[in-house]
Each structure stands twice: as C-alpha cells, then as structure tokens.
Amino acid sequence: MRFRFRRRAAALTGAAMIVLAAAAAVAYATIPSAGGVIHGCYHQKSGNLRVIDADAGAACLASEAPLDWNRTGPPGPTGASGPSDAYVASNAGMHLDDVDTTLVSITLPAGAYSVVAKANFYDDPFDSDTGDKVVHCRLLAGTTEIDYVDARISSFAKENDNDEILTFIGAAAAGGTITLVCNGGGVVSEDTKLLATKVGTLHT
C-alpha cells in the first residue's frame, strides 16, 4: 500500500507541473499584447517599473503611472535620397552669328541638379573679318540665367589649335529645360557638352 501511495503522489506532482508550465506559457504569450504593445506601470515615488498583462485585465494602481511602448518601435522618417541620375547632351559643332544660337539643351524631370557645361570655340577661317572675335554665352535654367561667359576669341585660334575652352557651372533647383545659348559672328563652336547630375539637396 505504501508503494502505491508513492506512485500516485508522483503522478499528481507531474500533472501539476504540466498545468503550471502551460499556464506560464499562456501568460507569456499575452505580453506583449496582441497589438505588439508592452504595458507597464511606473511607481512615481519608488521608481519601480513592472510589466502587466493588460489583455487579461491587469491595470496600474492609483500610485502608478501607465507606460506603454512598442517592442519594435514605430518606423522613422524616410531619409533624403542621394544622387541618383545624370543627364548628358552634346553637340559636335556649329557656326555662330550675331543672334543667340542654342548649342545644347536638355529637359530634366523634377528635382535639384548640379549643372556643368563646356564648349570649345575658334575663329572661322572662312570669315572675311580677320580680327579677333567675341563670343557671348549664357547657361539657362528655363529662362533664368545661372551662368554666363563673354570671351575674346583670338584670330589665331583655329580648329584643334589654340582654340578657346569655356566652362559653365550652375544649379537648377526644380529641373526643367537647361540650355547653353551663345552668339558671336565669325566664331565656330566645337565639342559642346552639358552634364546635369541630380542631387538630394542644393546648398547655395
């Protein structure tokens, strides 16, 4: 009889442990709550913090302040995008006269851009005026001038020999059409290039 009693007591003890473990698993599963929020109570005098199971009806005491937080936290704001695209246009060469001539142009989507252009110029060998020439160039964003250069082209500046290289630098805050416009009678442009690089923020 003594032997049977011991076996029955052991069986009861094992069953109780299983029930307690299951209860603990259920309690753990409800913290954080179904919405992913951890509910706590902060004792304003002692500074103690305890976690409660709000889904099961637990609540803070009158001496405690409720404090909730997310296990993963809310997503932060999206960072500014960095440089993403570059746009290039080019022109092999053109004869200029005394009216504005578009050497190169490019249309950009919305955004902020850093703009660089360069062009070579030399004296037209077939022009009747054998003196030095002057070329006037403007880099435009829409109708706004973002850079300009006035330069004297020597009569000794010939194709691939002492030609004048001009560089233009500007910025376009809203995209749109970027144009390099020049005039200069008796002058020839050569190897004109325009590069617009999209940037995250323009600092001027």
Q: What is the pLDDT tens value at each position of the chain, 204 positions in all? A: 444 444 444 444 554 444 444 444 444 547 778 778 899 999 988 999 999 998 888 999 999 999 988 867 778 888 766 557 999 999 999 999 999 999 999 999 999 999 999 999 999 988 888 889 999 999 999 999 999 999 999 888 776 677 889 999 999 999 999 999 999 999 999 999 999 999 888 887
Structural domain total, the chain: 2
Do residues 129 and 165 share a domain?
A: yes
The pLDDT score that the predictor gives to residue 13 is 52
Instruction: Answer whether residue 80 is part of any domain.
Output: no
Phi, psi dihedral angles at 9 (to 5 degrees): -65, -40
* Enclosing domain of residue 51: 2-70
Do residues 97 and 192 share a domain?
A: yes
- Domain boundary residue among 15, 45, 70? 70
Instruction: Answer whether residue 13 is part of any domain.
Output: yes
Do residues 164 and 101 share a domain?
A: yes
Contacts 24+ apart (CB under 8 A), 40-46: 40/66, 40/67, 40/68, 40/69, 41/65, 41/66, 41/67, 42/66, 42/67
The pLDDT score that the predictor gives to residue 83 is 55
Do residues 93 and 180 share a domain?
A: yes
The pLDDT score that the predictor gives to residue 203 is 86
Instruction: Answer whether residue 113 is part of any domain.
Output: yes
Do residues 134 and 167 share a domain?
A: yes
Instruction: Answer whether residue 52 is part of any domain.
Output: yes
Do residues 128 and 162 share a domain?
A: yes
Closest CA to 66 of 43, 86, 94: 43
Handedness of CA 69, 71, 74, 78 (dihedral sign): positive
Report the b/e string of 1-37 with b at 16+ CB within 10 A.
eeeeeeeeeeeeeeeeeeeeeeeeeeeeeebbeeeee
* DSSP sequence for 55-108: GGT----TTEEEEEEESS-PPPPPPPP----EEEEEEEEEEE-SS-EEEEEEEE
Do residues 94 and 63 share a domain?
A: no
Do residues 65 and 131 share a domain?
A: no
**134 close to 152: Cβ distance less than 8 angstroms:** yes
- Domain boundary residue among 70, 94, 110? 70
Do residues 97 and 195 share a domain?
A: yes
